[in-house]
Structure 1
Amino acid sequence: MSVINFVESLLRNGLGIPPTTAFNIERAHRALGVKPPVGAPPRSFVVKFAGYRLKEDILRRAWQARGFDFQGKKVFLDNDYAPEIQKRRKEYTAAKAALREKNIRFQTPFPARLRVHYSEGIVTYNSAQEATEDMVKRGLSVNLVKGHTTLLEQIKQRMWQSYGKKVNKGGMAQMPSFREKLQAFRRQSDDTA
């Protein structure tokens, strides 16, 4: 049995999808990584559907069912996000646990935000630090999350610093103008004469 056939069978049986629905799976393979030891959960599968709507329908069914069982193990489905997005989404773990404890509804919209449905209204947070700080102010017991640097801050940290060059307001080194180069050349030639 090919991986594509296995995935189709797994989804049909687990989610109750009728046999008349065509999956149109372009690719399916195991996620990269070493083979897990005996007794550990198996590696994930990565599946590429030809149609976006079918993928969204399958994910919606799986999320509503909160996963399904296969050979005594729980199977969950989710989008395959880039590593940086996964890292940022994982930062909300403490906040989501505190919200679950208080039975407060929340969502995690793409790319890495947290939308919380408080009784006063809906609040959307753009970072885990912002979310945990506000949740503490609201009286929820959650550990504060230290903020991560933005992409611009990371670029500035890794940027080469040039000595003797001007730096503009954005922290980027400015190249000297033609006139400044000419004046520096004239100064050097005057000093050597």
Structure 2
Amino acid sequence: MEGAEGSSPSITAFVENMLREKLELEASLSLPIERAQRALTPRPSENAPPISIVVNFLSYRMKEEILRTAWRKKGFLWRVKRVNIDHDYAPDVIRKHKEYTEAKKLLKEKNIKIQTPFSAKLRVFFPDVIRVYNTAEEATKDLADRGIPTPGTLMDRIQSFTWCTAGQKAERGQTRDKPNYKEKLQSFRR
């Protein structure tokens, strides 16, 4: 969306026009935007996704209405790019939400309804019970107990990054071909 605002007098006017058009909002609806600005990140390359725009609404109710409408439509396309509208979460919350990616993907494939509440939890609506998980590790363990194994659990990922000495069998049955540090140091000796 770099430069997409074109002849709009400001980014605020651009965001308002885009929301009205793409979310099909009524023309008579007041859309009080206090401020809109690009996220403070370096300018992206040609193939990278566009920079996020942070919008501050004057009315909390209007913000919630815009979010509900956007979520119902599951985003929209703007000049061949997918636009998603969501809350502006802190980086720690975003990182915690990403930890649930594998579990959420499997649950969606099985048509099991899920939610990710603000505090980076995972709420799963099983047919018999609603379950809330506080960590991704807790979720993957319980899902495995329920017969929904998730590939790449947290422990698997941690073990794949652990060190082993040269020639020792790796966790997955492969040997390491790289020389250990002593062998490397010997090659530098004069």
Q: C-alpha displacement at 1:20, in angstroms?
A: 1.1
> In the alignment, which residue of structure 2 is the partner of 1:66?
74
What is the CA distance between 1:39 and its match in structure 2?
Answer: 3.3
Query: Equivalent residue for 1:28?
Result: 36
Superposed CA offset, 1:126-146 (max 9, x none): 111111110011111203235
The reply on whether 1:78 has 2:70 as its aligned counterpart is: no
Alignment match, 2:20? 12
- Matched with 2:104 is 96
| Shift, 1:40, TM fit | 2.6
Deviation digits for residues 51-83 of structure 1, max 9, x if unmatched? 111001100111111001111221110000111
Residue 56 of structure 2 corresponds to residue 44 of structure 1: no
CA distance in 1, matches of 2:104, 2:89: 19
CA distance in 2, matches of 1:56, 1:104: 25
Number of aligned residues: 146
Alignment of 1:84-123 (within 5 A): 84-123=92-131
Segments of 5+ residues of structure 2 without an aligned counterpart are: 1-7, 156-190
Distance 1:119 1:58 in 2: 30
Runs of 4+ residues over 4 Å off in structure 1: none
**Do the aligned partners of 2:140 and 2:149 also contact (CA within 8 Å) in 1?**
no
Q: For residues 110-165 of structure 1, give each alpha carbon's deviation from its aligned partner in whole angstroms, at most 9, with x where no partner exists.
A: 1111110111111111111111110011111203235xxxxxxxxxxxxxxxxxxx
Q: TM-score, normalised by structure 1?
A: 0.73
The secondary structure found in structure 2 opposite 1:116 is strand
How far is the alpha carbon of 1:103 from its aligned partner?
1.3
- TM (norm. structure 2) is 0.74
Percent identity (aligned): 47
Q: Which has the larger radius of gyration?
A: 1
Tell me, yes or no, if the aligned pair for 2:114 and 2:124 is still in contact at 8 Å: yes
**What CA distance in whole angstroms lies between the structure 1 residues aligned with 2:42 and 2:115?**
32
Name the counterpart of 2:134. Answer: 126
Three-state SS of the structure 1 residue aligned to 2:154 is coil
Following TM superposition, by how much is the alpha carbon of 1:47 offset from its aligned partner in structure 2, in angstroms?
0.4
Question: Runs of 5+ in structure 1 lacking a partner?
Answer: 147-193
Offset of 1:86 from its aligned partner? Answer: 1.1
For residues 128 and 154 of structure 2, the distance between their equivalents in structure 1, rounded to whole angstroms, comes to 24
Match of 2:154 in 1: 145
Alignment partners' CA distance in 1, 2:47 and 2:96: 29
CA distance in 2, matches of 1:112, 1:41: 24
CA displacement at 1:21 relative to structure 2:
1.3
